[in-house]
Structure 1
């Protein structure tokens, strides 16, 4: 199982598997912290507008299985968007597997190897990283957001469940909620989920995907947030557009909304095509535009 999964993920990220750079400048820092005895890496980028007179919003961007900070930055254009919107952005990296490829994973609960098997405490790592960034930079504690791709999207859901009162909103892309047991959150969190109905690697309706792994349906996880956010379950509405639809619920303390595209696949809508083995990005919506528009509407009470 492990060899099949690693080969599949290698094909997804074959163009982004070179050794991570180590560098530091006034606006870019590739560094590490020690969390639970492990050295954990991250790439942090400040916007051109950064100064010491204002507190800036922070976006935490979580790569997919097999990815890394530089790969996510290169393929999804997140740094350019963060800079344009005057946000600080950080790209943490998952732990590397013991396999020959040394692929990186997040422990999102039941997924993904090897982080899940080793019970890596990625929640603690992200919590400690947030506190370190806040201690060094001018960050608005009420405006800390998380987005992620695939395994990173799954990790975004777990962080929303386990860091109540710290995350202002999340925007998972092409993932699903994979936490083991019940989500312990009682604090509502705004949720924006983006997915393609053509995604066969993490199927929207659930089923066997990449590496022969079973993934729960997206709306099974969303149902937990409908309850946490105190939405009216019967208020589900769909709105069809030319090449995508939106699904949302009304009467919520915090909104829950899905963009489901008819094009693309297991990819970042509006991102850069990066491998002949990877699915083409959807063009019907632009994930970065949707995500920032959503984040700007929400901050912690």
Structure 2
């Protein structure tokens, strides 16, 4: 009799446990479904992914009408060192520009908070963080939210600019167009590929001198020698098949207060352009003061509008 009661009790406990686990599994499925966001107009989505065993984060702003196209152009905007993606999102506001709603715009977060641009910089470089892998993992993850084009538009400031050129150097087949701001990279030993490039640099940049050399400030020793901006753009122009002949002057009075020098005789519209901004230090043209960066700011300008115009022109 005792054995029979014990057997009955065990049966009831097993059934109860099964119902409990079933309920928990249903809850987990619900949580998973909630965390996978639907593509809503202008929606901001914060994402976490693992790359090389490390959790990485980024924010994506979806376009105004996510269902209007079979696939969307995507912009990756990389922040400077000692900042994070929020800095790039709130200073540049690329997603809020006139044509920003026609793109998926991604604001990634660096590693403590730096980028590994191949030959520099900071903790990300010292620890061998795979930021090329991070870029590719983000592309794949964004594609799980909304269909995107195979080639991405890249922009970045300071250390983020160096990462942009690192991606361009190593996998140009994934890049539609580039705008780098305030930092250069040696482009001599890169994979072949023709990609439109605009580089923007302040003429009073003490952190990353436009004429090349060693900068001032906290990270100068870690960053090391900086490639002259004109030399880098000339090297990219040669890669783009533009040759090294005369350049064309393109005026940007309202957005950058300067006249840019562009190699335009390039196959496939792979223009290579250098815009040196007068009376500006190590800053994003148009961003307000607040980071304590080297040299004067130019909040009267609008680099974000110029970045988007360049990307629009190379759609």
Of 197, 204, 222, which residue of structure 2 is paired with 1:191?
197
How do 1:16-31 and structure 2 match up within 5 A? 27-31=43-47
Cross-structure match for 2:241: 230
Distance 1:58 1:152 in 2: 17
How do 1:82-121 and structure 2 match up within 5 A? 84-96=100-112, 104-121=113-130
Kept in 2, the 8 Å contact 1:60–1:92? The answer is yes
Which stretch of structure 1 is more off in the superposition, 120-129 or 212-221?
Answer: 212-221
Deviation (angstroms), 1:267: 0.8
Size of the aligned set, in residue pairs, is 268
Distance 1:171 1:293 in 2: 11
User: Is residue 290 of structure 2 the alignment partner of residue 274 of structure 1?
Assistant: yes
User: Is residue 166 of structure 2 the alignment partner of residue 155 of structure 1?
Assistant: no
RMSD over aligned Cα, in angstroms?
2.5
- Unaligned runs of at least 5 residues, structure 1: 1-21, 97-103
Cross-structure match for 2:232: 221
- Unaligned runs of at least 5 residues, structure 2: 1-34
Cross-structure match for 1:8: none
Deviation (angstroms), 1:39: 0.9
Of 209, 214, 224, which residue of structure 2 is paired with 1:208?
214
Cross-structure match for 1:246: 260
User: Is residue 182 of structure 2 the alignment partner of residue 171 of structure 1?
Assistant: no
Distance 2:249 2:131 in 1: 35
The structure with the greater share of residues assigned to strand is: 1
Distance 2:141 2:293 in 1: 37
Kept in 2, the 8 Å contact 1:235–1:250? The answer is no
How do 1:8-23 and structure 2 match up within 5 A? none
Q: Deviations over 1:141-168 (max 9, x none)?
A: 35x2000000000100111111222110
TM-score (ref. length: structure 2): 0.77
Kept in 1, the 8 Å contact 2:74–2:106? The answer is yes
Deviation (angstroms), 1:133: 1.1
Relative to 1, partners in 2 of residues 1:43 and 1:278: Cα closer, same or farther, differing over 3 Å? farther
Relative to 1, partners in 2 of residues 1:77 and 1:272: Cα closer, same or farther, differing over 3 Å? farther
Distance 1:277 1:110 in 2: 22
What secondary structure sits across from 1:165 in the alignment? helix
Distance 1:202 1:278 in 2: 9
TM-score (ref. length: structure 1): 0.81
